[in-house]
Amino acid sequence: MPDVFAVDSPNITAYAAENVIIPIDEYITTEEKDSYVNSVITQSTYKNKLYALSGMDSPAGLYYNKEVLKQVGYTDADFGTIAAPWSWKDVEEAMDKIIAKNKELKQEGKKELPYKIKLNIGFGGDEGSMYLYSPLVYSAGGSFADANEKVTGSLNSEKSLAGISMLTEIFEQDATKSWVYRGSNVNAFPGGEVAFEIYGSWLIDAIDKDYRTFKDKYDIMPFPVYEDADGNKGEVKSPCGSWGFSVTEAAKDEYAAARVVAYFTGAESSRLMYESIGTFPTHKSLLADTDLFGSGAAKSLSDLLVNTSAPRPLLAKYPKVSDAYKEIINYVQTKAGKSDYNLEKYALEKAQGADSGK
């Protein structure tokens, strides 16, 4: 085994629980630790000890086409913010407004506006659902497991299901309104095929490089929050997390290995990675740099990362829980609106499946 290896943030807990990686607290100064955003420290901490550090993050939110929304009556003050977020119902309402406007435009023989949402549910294969859609559960006050890592009773709790059911309505109405984009164009949002997209920070980089004229026409608002029947909205929770580095139990010189981790993930490395591949830096000093994150979508997303990031569940059996959640989201996507749709029953089965075995 090497002295240092790369580890994806949701796997840190499992590796730590199995003693594959070792704590690095004593080799990292408090000042260094404090320079990272909270999400990095939270996702890298197991039993109050720090096991990893990351120089890159991938906050996600709701990309929206400002220009299109303004054409149906929205103003800058209407768009969702951390203090006054949009819920899924607000997104649905906006799509309906664009569809109504398109009817007028069609009658006038004018070009219709994009109205769909690109959800990216299958993004990244296995991990996409948990990475992008864990805020559904968090925003409604739900959770993925209890303190003893028992999934049954948490993932299928009333609150968790209420959060997940925000997607139910989208897919139920999709049959008649065709809200959801199902094409394969990775640049459907800047390409003008959709009005909304749930996605991570990479799209900012793609737009900066390949869709420069689109740069001022869009922004990012928080991931849509939960809203109950009385109109009460849930808390803003933003997807986040990326790969970091850990010191393995095989390291002969733990101090030297930990310093390598600190160097790989330090502010300088973090900035280089941001400039090279568009991953978000993980240092507060860099995110506060107005030259880099002073305005536009980059600022919106950095605000979300600093203030609302919600790491994926920290569980030793994370892969099972992630799979169970992916299958639940997949169930909603394929079964919502069908006569045999029973989210409660399916979520219970999947939660029990995640609890089976070790």
Nearest to another protein of 69, 117 (CB atom): 117
Choose the binding region for another protein from 89-97, 162-170, 250-258, 315-323 (rule: CB under 8 A). 315-323
- Any contact of residue 353 with another protein (CB under 8 A)? yes
Choose the binding region for another protein from 29-37, 162-170, 211-219, 320-328 (rule: CB under 8 A). 320-328
Work out which of 148, 213, 276, 356 binds another protein, going by CB under 8 A.
356
Closest CA to 24 of 243, 190, 260, 228: 260
Contacts to another protein from residues 321-350, by CB under 8 A: 323, 326-327, 330-331, 333-335, 346, 349
Nearest to another protein of 192, 353 (CB atom): 353
- Any contact of residue 153 with another protein (CB under 8 A)? no
Burial 308-321 (b: 16+ CB within 10 A, else e): bbbbbbbbbbbbbb
User: What radius of gyration, in Å, describes the C-alpha atoms of the chain?
Assistant: 21
- Any contact of residue 208 with another protein (CB under 8 A)? no
Nearest to another protein of 150, 212 (CB atom): 150
- The rounded distance, in Å, linking the Cα atoms of 65 and 68 is 6
Binding-site size, another protein (CB under 8 A): 29
User: Which residues, 6+ apart, have CB-to-CB distance to 10 below 8 Å?
Assistant: 43, 127, 130, 241, 311, 312, 313, 314, 318, 322
Nearest to another protein of 14, 130 (CB atom): 14
- Any contact of residue 176 with another protein (CB under 8 A)? no
Pairing of strands 280-281, 243-247: unpaired
Q: What single letter denotes the amino acid at residue 9?
A: S
| Tokens coding 192 | 């003008």
The pattern of x and - marking residues 109 through 148 that bind another protein according to CB under 8 A reads ----------------xx----------------------
Closest CA to 88 of 170, 160, 162, 159: 170
Work out which of 108, 276, 290, 357 binds another protein, going by CB under 8 A.
357
First-to-last CA distance in the chain?
A: 25
Nearest to another protein of 205, 349 (CB atom): 349
Cα distances (angstroms) measured from residue 197 to each of 37, 91, 167, 201, 282: 25, 11, 14, 12, 23
What's the min distance (Å) between Cβ of 225 and another protein?
27
- Any contact of residue 285 with another protein (CB under 8 A)? no
Report the SS3 class of residue 262: helix
Closest CA to 302 of 310, 292, 312: 292
Are residues 9 and 43 in contact, defined by beta-carbon separation less than 8 angstroms?
yes
Are residues 210 and 202 in contact, defined by beta-carbon separation less than 8 angstroms?
no
Are residues 198 and 119 in contact, defined by beta-carbon separation less than 8 angstroms?
yes
Burial (CB < 10 A; 0-12, 13-18, 19+), residue 101, is middle
Pairing of strands 45-46, 280-281: unpaired
Work out which of 320, 343, 347, 355 binds another protein, going by CB under 8 A.
320
What's the min distance (Å) between Cβ of 250 and another protein?
11
Nearest to another protein of 32, 323 (CB atom): 323
Nearest to another protein of 193, 205 (CB atom): 193
Nearest to another protein of 119, 304 (CB atom): 119
- Any contact of residue 192 with another protein (CB under 8 A)? no
Alpha-carbon dihedral sign for residues 157, 163, 165, 167: negative
What's the min distance (Å) between Cβ of 249 and another protein?
10
The pattern of x and - marking residues 37 through 76 that bind another protein according to CB under 8 A reads ----------------------------------------
| Tokens coding 324 | 């169970």
Residues that bind another protein (CB under 8 A): 14-15, 18-20, 125-126, 181-185, 317, 319-320, 323, 326-327, 330-331, 333-335, 346, 349, 353, 356-358
